[in-house]
Amino acid sequence: MAGAQQQLTTEVDGQTMKLTNLGKVLYPQTGFTKAEVIEYYHQVADVLLPHLSDRPLTRKRWPDGTNASFFFEKNAPRGTPSWVRTETLPTPGSSTGRDEMSFVVCDDVQTVVWLANLAALELHVPQWRIGLSDQGRDPQADLIVFDLDPGPGASIVECCDVALALRQLLHHFGLEGWPKTSGNKGMHLYVPIEPASSKATSAFAKLLAEQLAEALPESVTANMTKALRPGKVFIDWSQNASAKTTLAPYSLRGAEEPRVSTPIDWDEVASATAPEDLTFLPHDVLARIEEYGDVLGELYDDPQPLPQS
């Protein structure tokens, strides 16, 4: 789709689109261009979309590349095409002081490509879907997420150990966890549930994080205080709040190289011995999809009721 030329008018799934600045290098350390970003997102769209669909999207954009400034964007930008789905949703407690905002909702491949053309390298979504919510102040979540963040002296390998322990704890409650790399230093663990209040899912995630921190005090903390993190993995349960978002599966990271937040299986979690074992670039991810399909393809198939804590 995206060649060496700087500009291209093309058709994406029946929609005519103008792609611009295709030769711009967005990852200077590796020379990865905007054209390659667009091509990656176009190729990965089929497995990416189930994790974006019906969720209000927050974008992190690097229009001049990852060695320059970035900005977060929640509202639909000026010039958003009429065919891009937008939803006006309440934003209580917003730092902008606005009571509501018009969000982009990415439900189709055309929107994926449009976002990539805006240099929206990172795609972040909440744990709830618009269709499940009454659009009130406490939306109904269909996922719980645990963000495993290694402190100084720890790495994703230590996160794997904590993820395995957290999986055992989840099994005690009749729940299953689905791991992916964060694309940075840590991991995310998803738990599919029947729709439940975001307040309730946050409370449950906090309970489990604190239980694991009590059981494994030398390697785990559930406290956000950074001084407590060296050598430990911080289990961030707070991303279950309705206003918080998590990097979507298959999203790029705005880093020195185009790392991808990549779904992995539990055998990979158990066997990882070095961070390099769980570092994936776009070509790695596309090869994995070709071989394995979407490792999170059954994530939403068997949601369980949220346990009463």
Confidence bin at 41 (pLDDT 50/70/90): very high
User: Percent of the chain, pLDDT > 70?
Assistant: 94
Please indicate, yes or no, if residue 307 is contained in any of the structural domains: no
Q: Helix, strand or coil for residue 95?
A: coil
CB 123 within 8 A of CB 97: no
Q: Which amino acid is it at 298? A: E
For helices 109-117 and 34-52, angle between their N-to-C axes, nearest 10 degrees:
140
CA–CA gap between residue 82 and residue 69 (Å, rounded) = 28
| Per-residue confidence (pLDDT) for residue 91, from 0 to 100 | 82
Please return the burial class of 247, using the count of CB atoms within 10 Å of its CB with bins 0-12, 13-18 and 19+.
buried
The secondary structure element, H or E, covering residue 209 is: helix 198-215
Q: CA torsion angle for 100, 106, 107, 111 (degrees, to 10)?
A: 130
| Per-residue confidence (pLDDT) for residue 92, from 0 to 100 | 64
Please indicate, yes or no, if residue 131 is contained in any of the structural domains: yes
Sign of torsion, CA 37 38 44 48? positive
Q: What is the mean pLDDT of residues 270-293?
A: 97
Nearest to 109 by CA among 26, 43, 36: 43
Please indicate, yes or no, if residue 298 is contained in any of the structural domains: no
Please indicate, yes or no, if residue 164 is contained in any of the structural domains: yes
Beta-strand (E) ranges in the chain?
8-12, 15-19, 25-27, 32-33, 56-61, 71-73, 86-90, 100-105, 120-125, 140-150, 178-181, 187-197, 220-221, 233-236, 246-247
Confidence bin at 228 (pLDDT 50/70/90): confident
| Per-residue confidence (pLDDT) for residue 3, from 0 to 100 | 46
Place of tokens 């979407």: 294
Please indicate, yes or no, if residue 34 is contained in any of the structural domains: yes
Q: Is the pLDDT of residue 134 over 60?
A: no
Higher pLDDT, 133 or 242: 242
CA–CA gap between residue 35 and residue 12 (Å, rounded) = 15
Please indicate, yes or no, if residue 300 is contained in any of the structural domains: no
| Per-residue confidence (pLDDT) for residue 2, from 0 to 100 | 45
The total domain count for the chain is 1
CA–CA gap between residue 7 and residue 17 (Å, rounded) = 11
Please return the burial class of 90, using the count of CB atoms within 10 Å of its CB with bins 0-12, 13-18 and 19+.
middle
Q: What is the mean pLDDT of residues 23-47?
A: 97
For the stretch 29-52, what's the b/e string if a residue is b when 16 or more beta carbons lie within 10 angstroms of its beta carbon? Answer: eeebbbbbbbbbbbbbbebbbbbb
Confidence bin at 93 (pLDDT 50/70/90): low
- pLDDT, mean over the chain: 94
CATH number of the domain residue 101 falls in = 3.90.920.10
195-217 tens-digit pLDDT: 999 999 999 999 999 999 999 99
Q: Is the pLDDT of residue 309 over 90?
A: no
| Per-residue confidence (pLDDT) for residue 99, from 0 to 100 | 80
| Per-residue confidence (pLDDT) for residue 133, from 0 to 100 | 59
Please indicate, yes or no, if residue 301 is contained in any of the structural domains: no
Higher pLDDT, 188 or 131: 188
Print the domain residue range for 179.
Answer: 7-292
Dig out the tokens for 284 from the structure.
């790695």
Lowest-confidence range among 94-108, 113-127, 291-305? 94-108
Please indicate, yes or no, if residue 299 is contained in any of the structural domains: no
